[in-house]
Amino acid sequence: MTSLRVLYQPCTVVLLLVLCLILETGQGQENRDNLLSLNMSVSQLQRENEFSVTFTVTNNMDKCMVVEISTEDNPNITYLTAHAKYTACICDTHNYFWDIDASANTVIRGKAEVVSAKNICPDGEILYPETGFMKFATADIIPH
């Protein structure tokens, strides 16, 4: 009975709550850093300076999320069709594509950002509550 009295002291209770908060915050931050996995690859098309860029976005969580997928502007890159920006409901792995012309050696940088957009995921889909998370991937482009 005497050992239980220690738990009734305010200082002990506060320390116990702080410890729980620290442990939970550390776990939450670890998961937040790992929401998405990204991969960007570049393959040569038939013409000399033309390339196909594939940006693979994988959701590492057990809930779907709305993600904006884009590439950053680059003066050495011309988009052959459109400099498209995608918004999608990602529950597993999705690929996004751009065909480009590169005028010089450069780096293309892709961005995936979790956003809160309505009517993107199907009704009833449980969404991951995080928004504002951003992650980048890059790939080298070397024209011949």
Q: Express each pLDDT in 75-105 by its tens digit.
A: 999 999 899 999 999 999 999 999 999 999 9
Q: What pLDDT, on the 0 to 100 scale, is given for residue 13?
A: 55
pTM (two decimals): 0.76
126: its two tokens: 């449980």
Q: What pLDDT, on the 0 to 100 scale, is given for residue 26?
A: 43
Q: What pLDDT, on the 0 to 100 scale, is given for residue 60?
A: 96
Q: What pLDDT, on the 0 to 100 scale, is given for residue 107?
A: 97
Low-confidence ranges of the chain (pLDDT < 50): 18-21, 23-30
